[in-house]
């Protein structure tokens, strides 16, 4: 492309996701957990404006809780793009303005989605040609969920969630998202899952040693979670361990089902809980009854819609 036609400013949208299901299959040798999950893109999004500027690399956001230093995944994406260009220089000459709508620490993938959007935008603005495989690798080095956001739509994620298999788009649905006041760190949630598994293993070993006596007691002890969470079948293996620390999660899932959602669960490692509805009006009615400062109604997005809308 001729130099004069290269943009100085680029605005992109970074979509959120929900996990329609999530199975934790075990601990991997690299310390991550082996997953099988179905990602689904939703229209709730952040807007990122990249502007060439003088001086150091800068991230700006009106939300004071949003990190603007090198721990931000946008910064890590900038470093990765420079590596693809063959340099280990520190990023500079760019200001990224983030309009943050996706709540942080909510399991909606906001940070990862920002990173994927930054990889794409900075490759354009810094004129770094990268193949799809190179982009995917760079994304996976930033975080397990980042590669998904290069694809969007409905996709199965294996390994750490970074080995992807695109699926046919689901029937368009309306999503009610409720984000409780607290956030959950992904690392903590997986740590809780490890704890629960260790406790269960200890109990099972202890039980084997009792020659099977007092089976009723054994059965009761095997349940690792409080009764409210235990009675709920969830499509997300992290839900019961998060609900054990934050019982409001189970309550919100139950409320969404009672309000008519055909599916409801925790998204990722939380803290957001979502319910799926066929009709927008039903979703809006449920959201009104659940009224809270962080309740959203948003449609699911097909893969094509993600690609089209990402370039705002
Ligand atoms: O890859 P990302 O930085 O988003 O992951 C955050 C943390 O979540 C990891 O450090 C790890 O503790 C945990 N995690 C995991 N298994 C995964 C994904 C994340 O244990 N598949």
Interatomic CA distance for residues 12 and 98, integer angstroms: 10
Average pLDDT over residues 247-253: 96
161: Cβ below 6 Å to ligand 1? yes
**Residue 71 CB coordination number (10 Å):** 9
Coil vs helix vs strand at 3:
helix
* Beta bridge pairs of residue 194: none
Closest CA to 43 of 257, 225, 302, 242: 302
Among all residues, which ones are annotated catalytic? Answer: 17, 145
pLDDT of residue 208: 65
Write down the mean pLDDT value for the chain.
90
Residue nearest to atom 7 of ligand 1 (CA): 187
Task: Read off the pTM.
Answer: 0.90
* pLDDT tops 50 at residue 226: no
175: Cβ below 6 Å to ligand 1? no
- H/E element holding 117? helix 110-125
Q: How far apart are the CA of 188 and the centre of ligand 1, in A?
A: 9
Maximum Cα interatomic distance, the chain, rounded to a whole number of Å: 81
The tens digit of pLDDT for each residue in 109-128 reads 999 999 999 999 999 999 99
Coil vs helix vs strand at 265:
strand
The tens digit of pLDDT for each residue in 174-209 reads 999 999 999 999 999 999 999 999 888 888 887 766
Per the CB < 8 A criterion, the answer to whether 51 and 97 are in contact is yes
């Amino acid at each position: 492309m001729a130099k004069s036609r290269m943009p100085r400013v680029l605005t992109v949208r970074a979509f959120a996701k929900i996990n329609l299901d999530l199975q934790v299959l075990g601990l991997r040798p690299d310390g991550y957990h082996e997953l099988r999950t179905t990602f689904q893109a939703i229209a709730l999004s952040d807007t990122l404006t990249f502007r060439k500027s003088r001086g150091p690399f800068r991230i700006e956001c009106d939300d004071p809780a949003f990190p603007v230093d090198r721990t931000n995944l946008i910064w890590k994406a900038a470093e990765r793009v420079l590596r693809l260009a063959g340099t280990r220089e520190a990023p500079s000459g760019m200001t990224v303005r983030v309009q943050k709508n996706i709540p942080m620490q909510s399991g909606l993938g906001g940070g990862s989605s920002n990173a994927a959007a930054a990889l794409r935008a900075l490759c354009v603005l810094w004129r770094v040609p990268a193949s799809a495989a190179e982009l995917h690798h760079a994304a996976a080095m930033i975080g397990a969920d980042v590669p998904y956001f290069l694809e969007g739509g409905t996709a199965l994620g294996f390994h750490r969630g970074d080995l992807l298999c695109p699926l046919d788009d689901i029937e368009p649905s309306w999503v009610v998202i409720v984000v409780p006041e607290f956030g959950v760190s992904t690392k903590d949630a997986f740590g809780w899952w490890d704890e629960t598994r260790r406790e269960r293993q200890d109990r099972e070993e202890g039980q084997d040693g009792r020659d099977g006596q007092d089976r009723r007691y054994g059965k009761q002890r095997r349940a690792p979670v409080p009764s409210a969470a235990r009675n709920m079948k969830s499509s997300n293996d992290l839900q019961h361990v998060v609900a054990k620390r934050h019982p409001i999660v189970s309550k919100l899932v139950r409320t969404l089902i009672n309000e008519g959602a055909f599916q409801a669960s925790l998204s990722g490692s939380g803290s957001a809980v979502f319910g799926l509805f066929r009709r927008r009006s039903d979703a809006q009615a449920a959201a009104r009854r659940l009224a809270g400062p962080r309740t959203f109604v948003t449609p699911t997005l097909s893969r094509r819609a993600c690609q089209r809308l990402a370039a705002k």
